Structure 1
Amino acid sequence: MIREAALGLSFATLTLLAVTAFAAEEPSTAAPLSGQLTITGASTIAPLASEIGKRLEETNPDLRIDVQTGGSARGVADVRAGLAAIGLVSRKLKDDETDLTAFTIARDGVGIILNTDNPVSVLTDEQIVDIYLGKIANWKDVGGKDAPITVVNKAEGRSTLDLFTHYFKLKNSDIKASVVIGDNQQGIKTVAGNPNAIGYVSIGTAEFEAGQGTPIKLLPLKGVAASVENVRNETFSLARPLNLVVKTAPEGTVKSFIDFAQSKDVHDLVKEQFFVPLQ
């Protein structure tokens, strides 16, 4: 009797354990996301963030993701003010932005662009600095045509400007700009429409536009071609992280978006934007 009871208990216990183990192996189904998520900031990241948002909306029909541009500075300001849940910042966070947390979703490079009609194919770092300081004002002084140089600079608050000035050790107040532009597309259109212009934009965007026939070309830096591939292998020095920033620890829909944006599920979208996916 005792032995039979023991055997019965043992069988019941094993059965319970088996059921528990089976239940643990069952995939958990997360509740669908809903509501609206507002994301603002860098124009460089905005197209990628929009595509990631559309893909997330496909499996969450009650979710709406609103992506707006305005520069990295806007992304930081809106997150701090509670106007956006996530900020798009295409650079490292600054020393005075330690109240924010950044989540990198890809990498990008910034390249110098000229019009394809400009015969100049290479400029040294020193020549680029002198052009932006106004010390070199004619293309003939760097092996080009006898024509005045149109210096295209980025507006304040643009992370591309921050990266450019940091790399070349320039102060924006010292730059002698002929034209001040906002996003990458404005910079590309300006240089494409002016054979004497020089500017700097996202390598991914410029490489795509050049491939589509837009009359621009990317210049190498220190002998290294400005290309997505060289950003990927980390041989191109003028590169940056593309970040999603938040003010508080992400949870709910915000966390779900960040996790999805950092996953392999969006690597194809990152590559389509000519950025470098996270390893």
Structure 2
Amino acid sequence: MKRFIPLALGAIILFAILAAIHSLRAPARRDENHAPASITLAGSTSVQPFAEILADEYMNEVENIIINIQGGGSSAGARSALSGVAEVGMLSRELQGDEKTLVPTYIAYDAIALVVHTSNPSRNLDIAEVQGIFAGKTTDWSEVGGETRKIHVVTREEGSGTRGAFDQIIMGTVEVTPGAIVQDSNGAVREIVAGDPSAIGYLSLGLVDKRVKAIAVSGVLPSIATVANNTYKLVRPMILATREGPRKEVRDFISYCLSEKAQAMLAKEGLVPVTSVTPGG
């Protein structure tokens, strides 16, 4: 009988240890079963593809988070953030009017590149020439040193951050010609220009690829270097805007966008990190 007492005592101790281990593991299982937090970003189609790259990487690194990203344009993004439809508004222009009640975080800077068909021999236009083309006053490429060919103007829709920045820097108070082909995204502008030897449009430098050709403005080609040193003037900010006091999950994602890793990813995609731009440009 005495021989069985140590065995019984050992069994009790083993049971207690297993029970303790079970209780320690239980919270972890509850965390694994917890519904993931969700963040919605909406707005600029210029910011959108870069935000998607950052969000994909962030979701790979952080558990229990889902980031939904939608387009719609900068103005729509600001309205979404103001109304609470989205927690983060994406803008590729400065905040305006009542949008200034939002809190902006600058995550990068981007050049607006003038693009033409790859077969177009034109390499440079000055700002007055660009304005004349988009106003409809200059209608043939031969008027700006090119081949004799009608110019087909491709522009973005009203409310687009890319359009807003282009109008501010290039057009001023001059209206874009009503004969322009209006597209609702940078990708759509690129496709139109890529398929039309007579076309000229503008889009984010980070979205310029071999299908189209970027041309110089006043002798300066768009690049990370010329944006950073302020010699290329068609530049706009990439902004994530929120209402005051966003949730921790939102703050954490925005902080990630400013991290060294995220800024390097944006630079690889053709944007200029916020820390690289020379002040006072």
Please report the TM-score for the alignment, with normalisation by the length of structure 1: 0.82
Deviation at 1:55, TM superposition (A): 2.0
Shift of 1:250: 2.8
| Residue of structure 1 in register with 2:87 after alignment | 85
Paired residue for 1:24? none
Match of 1:178 among 170, 176, 180: 180
Instruction: Select the residue among 103, 106, 111 that pairs with 2:105.
Output: 103
Aligned to 1:121: 123
1:271 aligns with 2:274: no
Structure 1 Cα separation of the partners of residues 176 and 123 of structure 2: 25
Q: Aligned-pair RMSD on alpha carbons?
A: 1.9
The equivalences for 1:152-171 within 5 A come to 152-171=154-173
Contact 2:43 2:89 in 1 (8 A): yes
CA distance in 1 between counterparts of 2:272 and 2:152 reads 31
Q: Contact (CA 8 Å) 1:139, 1:149: kept in 2 or not?
A: yes
The structure 1 residue matched to 2:254, chosen from 235, 253, 258, is: 258
5+ residue gaps, structure 1: 1-30
Shift of 1:173: 4.5
Post-superposition offset of 1:34: 3.8
**1:121 and 1:223 mapped to 2: Cα distance?**
9
Stretches of structure 2 lacking an aligned partner (at least 5 in a row)? 1-30, 276-281
Partner of 2:9: none
Percent identity over paired residues? 29
**Among residues 179, 202, 205, which one is paired with 2:204 in the alignment?**
202
- Structure-2 change in CA distance of 1:51 and 1:174 (3 Å): closer
Which residue of the other structure, out of 212, 215, 222, is the alignment partner of 1:219? 215
1:171 positional shift: 4.5
Q: 1:248 to 1:56 in 2, by over 3 A?
A: same
The structure with the larger Rg is 2
- Number of aligned positions between the proteins: 243
TM-score, normalization by structure 2: 0.81
User: Could you say if the C-alpha distance between residues 221 and 174 of structure 1 is closer, same or farther in structure 2, counting changes exceeding 3 Å?
Assistant: closer
- The code of the aligned residue for 1:77 comes to R
Contact 1:152 1:177 in 2 (8 A): no
Offset at residue 252 of structure 1 (A): 1.0
In the TM superposition, residue 174 of structure 1 has moved relative to its aligned partner by: 4.3
Q: CA deviation at 1:117?
A: 1.2
- Segments ≥4 residues shifted beyond 4 Å: 171-174
1:175 Cα deviation after fit: 2.5
Shift of 1:89: 0.5
- Aligned to 1:219, the other structure's residue is in SS state strand
